[in-house]
Amino acid sequence: MTKKLYIETYGCQMNLSDSEVVASILEKDGYGITDEIKEADVIFVNTCSIRDHAERRVRNRIQEFKHLKEIKPDLKIGVLGCMAERLKETILKEENFVDIVVGPDAYRDIPNLIEETKDGRQIANTILSLEETYADINPVRLDKNGISAFISIMRGCDNYCAYCVVPYTRGHERSRDPKSIIREAKDLLVKGYKEITLLGQNVNSFDWQENGEKINFAALLKMVADVSPEIRIRFSTSHPKDISDELIETIATTPNICNSIHLPVQSGSSSCLKRMKRSYTREWYINRIDKIKELIPNCGLSTDVIAGFCGETEDEHKETLSVMKYVGYDYAFMFKYSERPDTFAANKLADDIDEKTKGRRLQEIIKLQQELGYNSNLQDIDKVFRVLVDNISKRSNLQMAGRNDQNKVIVFDKKDSKLGDYVNVKCTSCTAATLKGEIV
Ligand code: SAM
Ligand code: SF4
C-alpha cells in the first residue's frame, strides 16, 4: 500500500457500511487506510442529507480541508454519499477545492475518477443504478473491534415517505443476492466476529427471486442465523407496514436472532401518518406491537419520532406521546421535522409549525422517553442477561461494557472477561441510559 486514504463518515449505519465498501475498492487500487488526516493522499467525506443540520455540519467540515490542500497540492478531496447525490453542482461550485463528487451507486468508478482528476479537473459521477448492490465486494472492516460487523442486504428505498430525501439520494430499492450475503457472514465467522447487523432502509421488504424460488426477509434472517449459533444477528431498519407474523415468529423461535426490534413510529396519530405517507395507521402499529409482545415477551423495542411535521396539531402530538407510553420504548431517536427540498412535503405541504413549538414538542418527547427508558431499565434489575462484551467502559478500564439481546448497554467489573466473550451479568442498578451489573 503506497498511498493513503482517510475517510470520515456521517449519518446512518448504511453510510458506515458504504465507507467499508469504498475502502475495499481503494485497497485494490493500492490505498491503505489511515486515521491521520495529514498523511492522506485522498480524503473522503461520506455524507448525510437526512436533515438540514446534518448537511450544514458536513459543509462546514469540508471547509477545514481547504488548507490541507494548500500545503499538499496533490491531495485529492472527495465528497461521497447522499449530499454528493443531492448537491453535486453546488458542491463543485461552492467548495471548488473538492476534486471528486460520487453518489452512493457509483463507488466502483472511484479509481477512474481519481485518475481523471490528475490534470486538476473536478469530476462527478452521481448516476443511480437499478442493480448495484456491491454484492461481490468484501468490505474492509473499518470498525476495528473485530466483534460486530454490518452486512448491507439491500439498497435504496421505494417508500417515498413525504418528509424523506432517501429515495432521491439512494435510488430505487433493490435486494442483494442471498448467496453473497451468506458468503460474507461465513467470512465474518472465520474472522472471529460475534455479531452481525443486517442493514437496509427497510429490511423487511427484502425480496429475492431466482429460478422460481422466493426468499423474503424472514427466510434470509433464518439463513444468516444458521451460519453459526455463536453469532448473534440484529437488523435495522424495519418498516411497520412490513413486519409480518412470520417475521416475528422467526425472531421468537431462533435463539441467535436478537430479541430487539427497531420499529420507527414517526408519529402516533393516524391523520399525521397519512400526511407523512407512512402507509400504516396508529391502530396497525399498535397491533404489530401487541403481536411482538405476545410472541416475544422480553423484546427490546426502540423507535424514531419526528416532532412538528407539517400541520401537526396539539392533539396529534399528544397521540405520539400516548403511543410512546403504550409501547414503553427502551430508547428512541427523536428529531424536529426538517424540510428537505424536492420531497412531497416540501412541494405540497406547508412547514407551518413554528420553531418554538417544534422545539417544545421535541422536548416533551425527549423527557417522556427518558422516563420510559429509566422505567424499562428498572424492570431489569435483578435479572441475569447474556452479554456480548464489546467495549472497555468509558469511565474505568477495570470495567467492561456490552449489550444484551435486547440491545441495552450493561457495564460491569471486568473480572476475567475480555472483548468478544459472552458473559452472564446480573443487573444491580441503572440510570436512564445504562444498566450496571456484575458477572455471575
Ligand atoms: N428507513 C428508515 C425508516 O423508514 O424508518 C429510517 C430512515 S432515516 C435515515 C432515519 C430517520 O430520520 C427516520 O426514521 C426519521 O425519523 C428521520 N427523518 C427522516 N427525514 C427527516 C426529516 N426530513 N426531518 C426530520 N427527521 C427525519
Ligand atoms: Fe425514508 Fe421512509 Fe424510505 Fe425510511 S422508509 S428511508 S423514512 S422514505
Cα separations in angstroms, 242 against 246, 253, 305, 308: 10, 19, 18, 25
252: CA distance to ligand 2 center in Å? 26
Q: What percent of the chain has pLDDT over 70?
A: 100
Mutate to test the pocket of ligand 2, among 15, 50, 152, 201 (most ligand atoms within 8 A of CB): 201
What pLDDT, on the 0 to 100 scale, is given for residue 328?
98
Q: Report whether residue 301 contacts ligand 1, using a CB cutoff of 6 Å.
A: no
What pLDDT, on the 0 to 100 scale, is given for residue 394?
83
Interval 234-251: pLDDT, tens:
999 999 999 999 999 999
What pLDDT, on the 0 to 100 scale, is given for residue 268?
98
Answer yes or no: are the C-beta atoms of 223 and 198 closer than 8 Å: no
Q: Say which DSSP state 105 is in.
A: T
Q: Report whether residue 199 contacts ligand 1, using a CB cutoff of 6 Å.
A: no
Helix (H) / strand (E) element for 113: namely helix 110-116
One-letter amino acid of 136? D
Ligand 2 — pocket residues by CB below 6 A?
157, 159-161, 164, 166-167, 201-202, 239
143: CA distance to ligand 2 center in Å? 26
Mutate to test the pocket of ligand 2, among 152, 157, 199 (most ligand atoms within 8 A of CB): 157
pLDDT at 210 over 90: no
What pLDDT, on the 0 to 100 scale, is given for residue 440?
96
Cis amide linkage into residue 253, ω under 30° from 0? no
What pLDDT, on the 0 to 100 scale, is given for residue 393?
87
Cα–Cα distance for residue pair 371/432, rounded to 1 Å: 7
List beta partners, residue 42.
5, 76
Contacts of 260 (CB under 8 A, 6+ apart): 234, 299, 300, 301, 302, 405, 406, 407
What pLDDT, on the 0 to 100 scale, is given for residue 211?
87
Mutate to test the pocket of ligand 2, among 50, 166, 169 (most ligand atoms within 8 A of CB): 166
What pLDDT, on the 0 to 100 scale, is given for residue 345?
98
pLDDT at 1 over 80: no
What pLDDT, on the 0 to 100 scale, is given for residue 371?
98
| Listed residue (202, 210, 203) closest to 179, CA to CA | 210
* Grid cell in block for residue 92: 463543485
Interval 334-373: pLDDT, tens:
999 999 999 999 999 999 999 999 999 999 999 999 999 9
pLDDT at 2 over 90: no
The protein residue with its alpha carbon nearest to ligand 2, atom 2, reads 161
380: CA distance to ligand 2 center in Å? 32
One-letter amino acid of 23? A
pLDDT at 419 over 90: yes
What pLDDT, on the 0 to 100 scale, is given for residue 27?
96
Residue 145: band (very low, low, confident or very high) from pLDDT cuts 50, 70, 90:
confident
What pLDDT, on the 0 to 100 scale, is given for residue 396?
85
Q: Taking the complete model, does pTM exceed 0.85, yes or no?
A: yes
